[in-house]
């Protein structure tokens, strides 16, 4: 069939030289230039240059399906890696702003996709992943500026969920191929329709009226309408009756074997310090509670009214939206331009009225922790309630400098003279709890985005920040080591000058020898960063523990060695168990214990589109996975606690970034996932005997499934 090419000229109807050359090249290639319209339901058209599809990858097949999106083709894939390939002349994307397409996925389990842009068959590959809401159309918008790796990702847009980038930095002048593949999926076939994939040199418009083949996605009490599951709440009346009964039952206490703080009554130092601290007894690490009892932190993150549904561009998917003024005003919030509705809050207001509902929620929530024998209110919580109740808690912090700039993602210019002033301002938040004995300590930040990059902070700085004080310090570091340009070039095995290191936009790729030096300097950068923040925090609050930064996953040694200023090393670890070898290495390098800031397991049998990062078959298996993880961690001599993420399931519509996981102990109606709760009670009642070696950890592991998040 003949392929038609639409050549767009200037306002006068004549092509300028650059446009003529570019379109002439594209006309002889597999990249067709014309206006492709996917306008539906009053949404703006998607226009641009079609990337001609090549081979189907893996087991992906074309399929038949409803005509939800004009011009879309249906596909079905059964395995991760199934997908589509595209080829085009190198440089075709160099002057483009976006890759875009419209999609719709069937089923009710989330599918995660990945777009890969690559320089040749074996060259560097940039990777961009995103999830989708089932039964709701979306517009994929990949900004090609992300290929500079200076951002981890962008905001969600409707049912275009958690768009994040990874892989390598690529040069768009050299990129000549693309793949769109299924990255993660459940055991359901991945059925989706896709309009032709376009590149665009203009801003790609958003869609605000998605196609909803099965109607609304969320019912009036916040539950998914496209799922059914055994514990689903029938209606608002049933929900209200349950909450009223739960408040009446809120009279639980911690077991008699635990101290007033949740410590172990059988083991105590001679006296407490009045605050939490760490202690090594010659065999293992412990926390010590304010009264002197040994303490192991079984924590729960996000003890807050937390099931927000981000409905930016998705208002059509909601069954119920009350007025933002009056009785339900508290359920609305905004994050930038993204509005959210909190169905958990709405359910408490429905049940108890607008006056005093939050205090009733706090009574129920803290009582639930006591029922579960949990002894710590973890990060991202409404910790003020814990403080007033003398319930052990931790505090989150976040560093957002006002005087100095970031030089790579969220890594600041740490050698700038004003960095220490920003650090002192940052630490002031601790002043209001510095004398509170219930506070275990503070996390200085959470998962800095530079830690998600495949590049070192020093490398990212050179590529993305033409001039900063820290680059000047890198020059001095290398000058002290090598003396002059010749010796630096000889060592790095590439032509380089100290002037290039200090200023200018870096373009060349680094050799292994160069990366060795830049890794060593990245350690120096990290150590300066956190030592100054730590010192500032201790000036404001000398009484509580610095719990580190909740590093994302298993850290490399260069990062670990730069974090000597903490009291406790924290990381978020979504594995089947806490890795004994890693915690042992951290103890060896830093002489401090480890605390796990986040972990969880989810399943697909409770009305959520995604399991979360850890994935098992059922709620009963979640209970088994919980026991395996926490009891093994308690037996680990280097670990002093694990904090589960989160108390409540996330919204089926997705929170601010699109996460919509079955990761809670409770659902949006505050009903417990009973098998998980029962298993947790067993673990927590035995935790001190396991930590002391008196009792062996639980060993009946479930089947762990491929991750779906």
| Tens-digit pLDDT profile for residues 452-477 | 999 999 999 999 999 999 999 999 99
Q: Which structural domain range is residue 127 located in?
A: 17-200
Strand 376-377 to strand 297-300: parallel, antiparallel, or no bridges (unpaired)? parallel
pLDDT at 369: 98
412 found inside a domain: no
| Tens-digit pLDDT profile for residues 91-110 | 999 999 999 999 999 999 99
96 found inside a domain: yes
pLDDT at 379: 98
**Span 315-339, average pLDDT:** 97
191 found inside a domain: yes
Yes or no: say if 9 and 18 are a contact pair by the CB < 8 Å rule: no
For 119, 476, 499, 628, the CA distances from 634, given in Å and listed in that order, are 47, 46, 52, 10
CATH number at residue 149: 2.60.120.430
Taking 60 as the threshold, does the pLDDT of residue 591 lie above it? yes
**Span 691-696, average pLDDT:** 98
Taking 80 as the threshold, does the pLDDT of residue 6 lie above it? no
pLDDT at 31: 42
pLDDT at 40: 63
Residue 122 to residue 223: CA distance in whole angstroms: 46
**Span 587-599, average pLDDT:** 98
pLDDT at 214: 97
Taking 80 as the threshold, does the pLDDT of residue 255 lie above it? yes
178 found inside a domain: yes
Per the structure, how many domains does the chain have?
1
337 found inside a domain: no
My answer on whether omega of the bond before 646 falls inside 30° of 0, hence cis, is yes
**Span 173-192, average pLDDT:** 98
pLDDT at 8: 29
**Span 63-69, average pLDDT:** 97
pLDDT at 658: 98
Nearest to 166 by CA among 130, 205, 211: 130
581 found inside a domain: no
Residue 32 to residue 210: CA distance in whole angstroms: 27
**Span 253-281, average pLDDT:** 95
* 215-236 core/surface letters (b: 16 or more CB in 10 A; e: else): eebbbbbbbbbbbebeebbeeb
Residue 510 to residue 469: CA distance in whole angstroms: 21
% of residues, the chain, pLDDT over 70: 94
pLDDT at 270: 79
């Amino acid at each position: 069939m003949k392929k038609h090419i639409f050549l767009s000229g200037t306002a006068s109807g004549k092509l300028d030289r650059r446009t003529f050359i570019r379109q002439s090249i594209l006309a002889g290639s597999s990249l067709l230039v014309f206006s492709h319209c996917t306008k539906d339901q009053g949404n703006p058209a998607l226009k641009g240059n079609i990337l001609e599809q090549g081979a189907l990858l893996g087991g992906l097949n074309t399929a038949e399906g409803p005509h939800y999106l004009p011009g879309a083709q249906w596909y079905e894939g059964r395995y991760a890696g199934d997908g589509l390939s595209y080829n085009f002349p190198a440089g075709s994307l160099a002057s483009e702003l976006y890759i875009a397409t419209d999609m719709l996925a069937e089923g009710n389990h989330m599918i995660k996709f990945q777009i890969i842009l690559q320089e040749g068959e074996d060259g560097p590959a940039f990777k961009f992943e995103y999830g989708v809401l089932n039964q709701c159309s979306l517009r994929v918008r990949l900004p090609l500026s992300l290929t500079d790796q200076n951002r981890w990702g962008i905001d969600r847009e409707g049912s275009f969920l958690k768009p994040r980038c990874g892989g390598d930095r690529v040069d768009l002048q050299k990129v000549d191929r693309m793949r769109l593949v299924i990255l993660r999926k459940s055991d359901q076939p991945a059925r989706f329709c896709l309009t032709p994939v376009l590149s665009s040199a203009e801003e790609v418009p958003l869609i605000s009226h998605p196609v909803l083949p099965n109607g609304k996605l969320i019912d009036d009490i916040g539950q998914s309408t496209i799922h059914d599951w055994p514990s689903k709440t029938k209606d608002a009346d049933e929900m209200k009756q349950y909450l009223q009964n739960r408040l009446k039952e809120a009279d639980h206490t911690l077991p008699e074997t635990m101290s007033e703080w949740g410590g172990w009554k059988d083991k105590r130092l001679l006296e407490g310090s009045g605050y939490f601290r760490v202690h090594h007894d010659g065999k293992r690490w412990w926390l010590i509670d304010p009264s002197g009892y040994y303490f192991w932190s079984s924590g729960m993150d996000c003890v807050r009214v937390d099931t927000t549904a981000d409905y930016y561009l998705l208002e059509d998917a909601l069954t119920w939206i009350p007025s933002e003024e009056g009785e339900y005003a508290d359920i609305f919030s905004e994050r930038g331009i993204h509005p959210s509705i909190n169905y958990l809050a709405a359910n408490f207001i429905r049940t108890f009225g607008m006056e005093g509902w939050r205090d009733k929620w706090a009574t129920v929530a803290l009582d639930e922790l006591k029922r579960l024998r949990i002894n710590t209110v973890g990060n991202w919580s409404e910790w003020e309630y814990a403080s007033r109740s003398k319930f052990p808690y931790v505090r989150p912090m976040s560093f957002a400098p006002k005087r100095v700039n970031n030089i790579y993602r969220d890594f600041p210019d740490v050698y700038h003279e004003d960095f220490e002033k920003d650090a002192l301002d940052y630490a002031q938040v601790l002043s209001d709890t510095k004398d509170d004995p219930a506070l275990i300590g503070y996390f200085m930040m959470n998962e800095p985005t530079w830690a998600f990059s495949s590049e070192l902070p020093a490398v990212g700085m050179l590529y993305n920040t033409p001039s900063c004080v820290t680059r000047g310090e890198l020059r001095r570091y290398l000058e002290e080591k090598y003396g002059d340009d010749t010796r630096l070039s000889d060592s790095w095995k590439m032509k380089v000058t100290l002037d290039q290191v200090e200023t200018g936009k870096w373009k060349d790729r680094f050799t292994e020898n160069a990366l060795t030096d830049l890794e060593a300097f990245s350690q120096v950068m990290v150590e300066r960063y956190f030592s100054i923040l730590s010192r500032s925090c201790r000036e404001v609050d000398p009484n509580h523990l610095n719990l580190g930064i909740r590093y994302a996953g298993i850290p490399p040694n260069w990062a670990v060695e730069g974090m000597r200023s903490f009291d406790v090393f924290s990381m978020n670890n979504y594995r089947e168990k806490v890795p004994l070898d890693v915690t042992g290495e951290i103890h060896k390098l830093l002489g401090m214990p480890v605390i796990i800031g986040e972990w969880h397991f989810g399943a697909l049998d409770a009305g959520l589109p995604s399991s979360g990062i850890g994935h098992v078959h059922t709620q009963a298996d979640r209970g088994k996975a919980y026991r395996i993880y926490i009891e093994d961690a308690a037996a680990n001599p280097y670990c002093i606690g694990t904090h589960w993420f989160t108390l409540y399931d996330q919204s089926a519509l997705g929170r601010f970034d699109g996460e919509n996981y079955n990761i809670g102990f409770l659902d949006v109606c505050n009903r417990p996932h009973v098998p998980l709760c029962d298993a947790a009670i067993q673990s927590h009642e035995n935790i001190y005997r396991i930590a002391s070696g008196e009792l062996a950890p639980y060993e009946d592991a479930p089947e762990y499934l491929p991750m779906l998040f």
